[in-house]
Chain A
Amino acid sequence: MAREAGRRSPAAAARSRAGFAFVSPAMLVMLLLVAYPLAYGMYISLFRTNLLNRWDFVGLTFFVQSLSDPGFLRSLFITALYAILVVSGHLLVGVTLAVVLASAIRLQVLFRAILILPWLFPEVVVALIFRWIFDPIFGLLNHVLETIGLISTQVAWLDDPTWAFVAVVGAAVWKGYPLVMLLALAGLQSIPRDRYEAAALDGAGRFAQFRYVSLPGLAPILGVAVILEFVWWFKHFTIVWLMTKGGPVDATNVVSIDIYRTAFQSFDFGRASAMAVIVLFICIAFAIAYRWLVPDEQA
């Protein structure tokens, strides 16, 4: 929208003041409670410190060390893998269910109510339920599998590096798909019906209609969702911590856990802050790259 030239009339100045007034409480919060801690966090990353009495300036040492530390790099890799798998799972499950719910099935309201449930469970609860289900001795999973005859002895799922990873991904997908499902549902319902009719007349079958009408129509909403979801699950802590505490043998050591342990178990706050700053830049880089690749979404 072109801005107006010429002298700034008193009316325009008054409007500008009014706008500022409306925004100022939130802006103040952002400055004091977000910008300031952020800057402070970056400041801490330049020191070897226990936040009490020891503040040794080390400059970018921790950054250099972390970026060349195979353990940290490995946890970055694990975290990226985790985020990608979880978000993909959400998209797959969420969009599929949305497509099903958006069609003329009966009892849509009931199905939708049930399928939204996982979203309402706090992450703590989800982590605990699944941990209980995966329990080697009294877990539901082992019991069911034994009854069916798929396994003969009890499996300690969360003690196996690969299965532990699968388990935390599964729990996260279970917990988080409803949000994507709701967004996709909203998006589908906003696509004009006649586009489908035109496609049908042009000879498109069900799948083609999905590919050429539904997906493009969903792209804007899902685009934003993907960015936010990836970042959200990249920095995820709770479910993984409560299920595996990053183990076994660092198999599920996502970067937030790594940082948490460095800070609050090793009390190496400076290093932990540096690691966190690196994560921040990764998230920002991802968001920028994504927007650059797919610029038509208006976030």
Chain B
Amino acid sequence: MSKPSSAIGGAHPLFYPLLLVACAIVMVPVLWMLSTSLKNETELFRDPLLLWPEKPTLAAFRSVFQDYPFGAYIRNSLVVVICATAISLAFSTLAGYGLSRFRFGGRGAFLAFLLLSQMFPSVMLIIPYFKILKSAGLLDSRLGLIVTYVSFTIPFCTWMMYGYFRSIPTELDEAAAIDGCGAVRTFFTVILPLALPGMVATSVYAFITGWNEYLFALILTNSEEQKTLPVGIGQLIGQYRIEWNELMAASIYSTIPLMIFFLFLQRYLISSLTAGAVKN
């Protein structure tokens, strides 16, 4: 991460209050979520409202697993999202390299289609996917979800990797060619190691997108065994009596992986956003 040097000059005194307000707006819901998750049932519905539990407890974090097939939700999300991310990453990296280095028939059309496909409303594809997966017997299955998630992460991931590869000078490919490498060897030995930051950013994006996804999972699964985390959480709200503390505990569970992911990889993410953004 770049040093916090000043890009545009000194700090105005008003900046600090502004930042504090912004941080407050961010932290209040977060802390409220935390506070709610630590309450037990009676404290939850106290009047007047308790800002922070008098007797914080992790009961909700445990009962969420007992009252619902929460372990299944987590497992499904992990499997589906990790597989979809891996496949998207592999395909989009290869394609991004091919697009940036070679001219071939259909290249222009492919690029245009990549761009266009990011305009599709998900609702547009939900109905055909529903029918197609149903006919293929892949409804209510992790495999079906993986296929679905791959379909909408690949366009943007390919676009990101394309942008990233364009920032790697083609002179390196030429030097490798003269040194004796064929196309495949050039890619794996010379260029791929340099593309790691871009690949990290792409996989973070794909992971977050998949982990987040609600609508398709909602429609394409119906058995508790196959539902993903967002769907599982979303349906907690449909109960007659909403157990907000469990809900918040579940929410914290579903956010933690993203935070960990992000914490470790933020250096790559931010630097490659810069590289990709600027070069694009």
Chain A residues with CB under 8 Å of chain B are 3, 15-23, 25-27, 29-30, 33-35, 37-38, 40-41, 44, 51, 93, 96-97, 99-100, 102-106, 108-109, 111, 114-118, 120-125, 128-133, 137-138, 140, 143, 174, 182-183, 186-191, 193, 196, 206, 209-210, 214, 220-221, 224, 228, 231, 234-235, 237-238, 242, 255-256, 259-260, 263-264, 269, 272-273, 276-277, 279-280, 283-284, 287, 298-299
Contact of B215 with A237 in the complex, beta carbons under 8 Å: yes
Q: Which residues of chain B are near A140, meaning CB under 8 Å?
A: 28, 32, 49
Q: Secondary structure at chain A's binding surface: helix, strand, loop or mixed?
A: helix
Interface check B70, CB cutoff 8 A: no
In B247-271, the 8 Å CB interface with A consists of 247-248, 251, 254-255, 258-259, 262, 270
Given known pairs A103-B12, A114-B23, A242-B234, the reply for A41 and B128 (CB within 8 Å) is yes
Closest beta carbon of chain B to A78's beta carbon, Å: 15
Closest beta carbon of chain A to B98's beta carbon, Å: 3
Which A residue's beta carbon lies closest to that of B117?
A34
Interface check B26, CB cutoff 8 A: yes
Which A residue's beta carbon lies closest to that of B269?
A182
Q: Which residues of chain A are near B36, meaning CB under 8 Å?
A: 132
Which one, A104, A133, A283, contacts B11 given CB within 8 A? A104
Closest beta carbon of chain B to A125's beta carbon, Å: 4
Which one, B23, B118, B129, B248, contacts A231 given CB within 8 A? B118
Interface check B64, CB cutoff 8 A: no
Which A residue's beta carbon lies closest to that of B186?
A18
Q: Which residues of chain B are near A104, meaning CB under 8 Å?
A: 4-6, 9-11
Contact of B126 with A30 in the complex, beta carbons under 8 Å: no
Q: Which residues of chain A are near B91, meaning CB under 8 Å?
A: 25-26, 29
Which A residue's beta carbon lies closest to that of B230?
A124
Q: Which residues of chain A are near B62, meaning CB under 8 Å?
A: none
Contact of A103 with B27 in the complex, beta carbons under 8 Å: no
Contact of A256 with B122 in the complex, beta carbons under 8 Å: yes
Interface check B280, CB cutoff 8 A: yes
Q: Bound state CA distance, A41 and B132, in angstroms?
A: 10
Which B residue's beta carbon lies closest to that of A299?
B115
Which B residue's beta carbon lies closest to that of A49?
B131
In B224-280, the 8 Å CB interface with A consists of 229-230, 233-234, 237, 244, 247-248, 251, 254-255, 258-259, 262, 270, 273-274, 277-278, 280
Q: Bound state CA distance, A96 and B33, in angstroms?
A: 27
Given known pairs A138-B49, A174-B29, the reply for A100 and B98 (CB within 8 Å) is no
Q: Bound state CA distance, A123 and B215, in angstroms?
A: 11
Q: Bound state CA distance, A168 and B237, in angstroms?
A: 17
Contact of B233 with A117 in the complex, beta carbons under 8 Å: no
Closest beta carbon of chain B to A292's beta carbon, Å: 15
Contact of B132 with A40 in the complex, beta carbons under 8 Å: yes
Which B residue's beta carbon lies closest to that of A43?
B128
Which one, B99, B131, B248, contacts A44 given CB within 8 A? B131
Interface check B95, CB cutoff 8 A: yes
Given known pairs A129-B251, A231-B119, the reply for A35 and B15 (CB within 8 Å) is no
Q: Which residues of chain B are near A138, meaning CB under 8 Å?
A: 44-45, 47, 49, 244
Which A residue's beta carbon lies closest to that of B1?
A109
